[in-house]
Copies of this chain bind each other. A is one copy, B any other.
Amino acid sequence: MTYRDRLQHATSTLGHVCVGLDPVPAKLPPHLRDAPVGVALFLVDIIRATAPYAAAYKPNVAFFEALGPMGDKALETAIAAVREHAPDAVLIGDAKRGDIGSTAERYAVALFDRWGFDAATVNPYFGTDGVKPFVERPDRGAILLAATSNPSAVEVQRAWEGVALPNVIAKLARDQWNEHHNVALVVGATRIEDMASVRADCGDIPWLIPGIGAQGGDLEASLRYGVGASGIPSLVNASRSVLYASSGEDFAEAAAAEAKRMQEAISSARATLANAG
């Protein structure tokens, strides 16, 4: 059965209500609040009682993650309860994941295969690369953030008048979110055309710079705008190039050599920039 058929069947027989499962232990009825499995028992009863009226259930993954291993167990129980008591309902993993393609693919595996959700909520900030792993399976669905319901959504989602999104974020970060000097920005080493303007708009906020290794970004430009002459504490990320520098038993030595090489390349590029400046 395709996801679309499943959804259509659910809404035509059960209506349009989706019950969101956002468990907060302190809000449970007193007799369940202190039980180690209180959240699980609470959700099973909620699901059993609401099954005739719900076309979908939507566990909000954040509320389970925050509870640690006990939350993981409760999520497992809630999913099993939906399958048992509400077999026609659509089961949505509300996780709002979004990342570059290879990472989004891992999130799709976690949500669709580990947990077995029929659909997942997805953050489309990365464009097609990040959305594709969630939409390429006909039996699974993707629910993309478009116009979210929270009060501050419009700060980002309607700020399109002549300003690129990275600059919208840069200015909000500088002017509103950096009171504790604990904010950084992800600026990819492949996004050379955005670097000067993002730096101009974000003040001295540090960057986390991915895209140097496998993705072929520009280290020199990244350092010029990311670290600069004043030594902003930005970070240049390397994942696969370090982890898989060797596939043999010498993998750790090879990883160390590659990390050392990068550390030195950055140091020497910074010296060149300092001399040129």
Contact = CB atoms under 8 A, between A and B. Distances in A.
Interface string A140-172: 111111111111111111111111111001101
B148 A56 contact: no
Contact of A97 (B96, B132, B149, B234): B96
Given A18-B235, A100-B149, A127-B150, A4 B260 contact: no
Nearest to A180: B138
A77 interface: no
A62 interface: yes
A124 to B, nearest CB: 5
B198 A46 contact: no
A195 to B, nearest CB: 8
A35 interface: no
Contacts of A242: 19-20, 46, 50
A82 interface: no
B141 A21 contact: no
A128 interface: yes
A93 to B, nearest CB: 11
Given A160-B163, A184-B142, A233 B11 contact: yes
A269 to B, nearest CB: 10
Contact of A19 (B42, B110, B238): B238
Given A110-B62, A172-B128, A243 B22 contact: yes
A239 B22 contact: yes
A80 interface: no
B243 A16 contact: no
Given A141-B183, A149-B188, 19 more contacts: A7-B233, A16-B227, A17-B259, A18-B238, A22-B103, A22-B239, A23-B243, A49-B259, A50-B256, A52-B256, A53-B256, A128-B176, A135-B182, A137-B182, A144-B183, A145-B169, A146-B165, A149-B191, A153-B188
16 contacts: A10-B233, A20-B210, A53-B263, A126-B156, A129-B152, A135-B179, A135-B182, A136-B180, A138-B181, A140-B182, A143-B186, A144-B183, A144-B185, A149-B211, A157-B165, A160-B163
